[in-house]
Structure 1
């Protein structure tokens, strides 16, 4: 299996990598997600079976697929998709994979669409698996599903001039999934080392760019905050409230003086981690120290 150097690719894909997209040329109109009574994986439509052009977010030579290179990888991703959606009490979005035999590197991307679809590139899947195993792809998929929650519930509640709130909250959703008992069920933070190292590596410093996803330190702290909130059973809107209640304080270098009246039990738990989150965001806690957090 050919492996790709993330450092070489990061500059080329930073603006779209692990992202959300509200426009898709394959469909005439973007419709709200339709709930079904079954969590069964959607089968390809007739259009998907005959149309090899994916959309304008991918190369013209890219091909839309219903599976990866082998059944084990395909089954893993489909089962994770079901588990992630089920944890949030939702049915599955449509999960498809994108291959490009003419330019494999062009599929180093994963995109969540506002019409209930997630397209996942071959290159990013196999490089992530090579770098950190299955948990990295579980994190990426949970991040992309976080964007689905944002579309459905009109999140995030915080808006900026860049994509940062959307992307950091999606990182938080991913960290939350990795901890939850009905999610990936990793209760020790060091167990998800490969996932948060990957999140750190895809941060950027283009803070004035509309596509800014957050700095590496901010992305690390977003995953950590989501993981900490995984101590509690939250719905998407309640997660959003708590995520930004604490994360805004981290971004500003301050902690809100008012107490979290909506969830006082969470406030009591989170109070012991506020200084830590500030130090992660500022870089005072090194990457090596970050790996050893409990």
Structure 2
């Protein structure tokens, strides 16, 4: 999920008031072992953040911002994934924080990428994703949220609509790309990452005119499949955006572009093998079960 922030002086003053008025709850300390701490380079919380339970308006008032998950194994996995994802795109880590709510655990079933260079990841979505598909599902979700960071940095996506669908589908594509790249999660077989893709499509929606529409389950499946296919090539964020929407116009506009790819023509021969498949994923002709067994 993507959140933009353009604070006025008044809003800034209100935020300061909220922070200084928050409860005196101590945050957990980062649990990275010393050998990993240097490579991860996760920004440490400031003095106010350490003593405040205040998160922001997108989380419940009882939510608590933390630097750790429930154990060091989970925390270290997410911090190391954050480093790998950012490094794949030649960038340093954004601020990664975790959100817990002891009073309402399920209220943290969310992950949000902020235009201010932060990703907040809910406890509930982390542990549900892990229980349903293992670590790879959370790697995919984190890569999706970092995809929004790339959108903020490079003013992407190049396609706009009245809903959030292009932003969200491209972020799905960024996630699929990361899971395949050798310097990323390094899974060359699509069947190896089926659990992650199944989770992505399960949180699609059919509110096609709602401003926050993320794409239907079938559209999300085709987006992550396309990102995985583009992972055959080393692309910049801008080149990924160009190729993603070049081949994905069938989902957004109803017809696939069949003209020559002028920016990366070498990709055309490879992608031409998959155009019909992508159409069938989007229309549902390829079922969710068949999708999991694609090569």
TM-score (norm 2): 0.88
Runs of at least 5 residues in structure 2 that lack an aligned partner in the other structure: 16-37
1:63 aligns with 2:67: no
**In 2, distance between residues paired with 1:234 and 1:28?**
38
1:6-85 to structure 2, matched below 5 A, reads 19-23=1-5, 28=12, 40-85=41-86
Q: Give structure 1 regions of 4+ aligned residues with deviation exceeding 2 angstroms.
A: 27-30, 249-255
Partner of 2:117: 116
Alignment match, 1:3: none
The 2-side partners of 1:21 and 1:256 are apart by 30
Q: Does 1:126 align with 2:127?
A: yes
- Aligned: 1:256 with 2:286: no
Map 1:1-294 → 2, pairs under 5 A: 19-23=1-5, 28=12, 40-294=41-295
Secondary structure of the 2:273 match is: helix
Q: Secondary structure at the match of 1:269?
A: helix
1:39 to partner: Cα distance: 5.4
Structure 2 equivalent of residue 15 of structure 1: none
Q: Which has the larger radius of gyration?
A: 2
Cα distance in structure 2, aligned partners of 1:288 and 1:124: 23
Count of matched residue pairs: 269
Output the CA distance in 1 between the equivalents of 2:94 and 2:226: 25
| Higher normalized contact order (CA 8 Å, seq sep 6+, divided by chain length) | 1
Deviation at 1:288, TM superposition (A): 0.9
- Shift, 1:228, TM fit: 0.1
Q: Which digits, 9 at most, give the CA deviation of each residue in 1:139-185, with x for residues without a partner?
A: 00000000000000000000000000000000000000000000000
Q: Hey, what's the Cα distance between the residues in 2 that align with 1:244 and 1:173?
A: 12
Mapped partners of 1:255, 1:212: distance in 2:
22
TM-score by length of 1: 0.89
1:106-159: CA deviation from partner (whole Å, max 9, x where unpaired): 000000000000000001000100000000000000000000000000000000
C-alpha distance in 1 between matches for 2:145 and 2:265: 30
Work out the CA distance in 1 between the residues paired with 2:150 and 2:116. 12
Q: Partner of 2:272: helix, strand, or coil?
A: helix
Query: Which residue in the other structure is 1:8 paired with?
Result: none
- Over the residues paired in the alignment, what is the CA RMSD in angstroms? 1.7
- Contact preservation (8 Å) 1:21, 1:114: yes
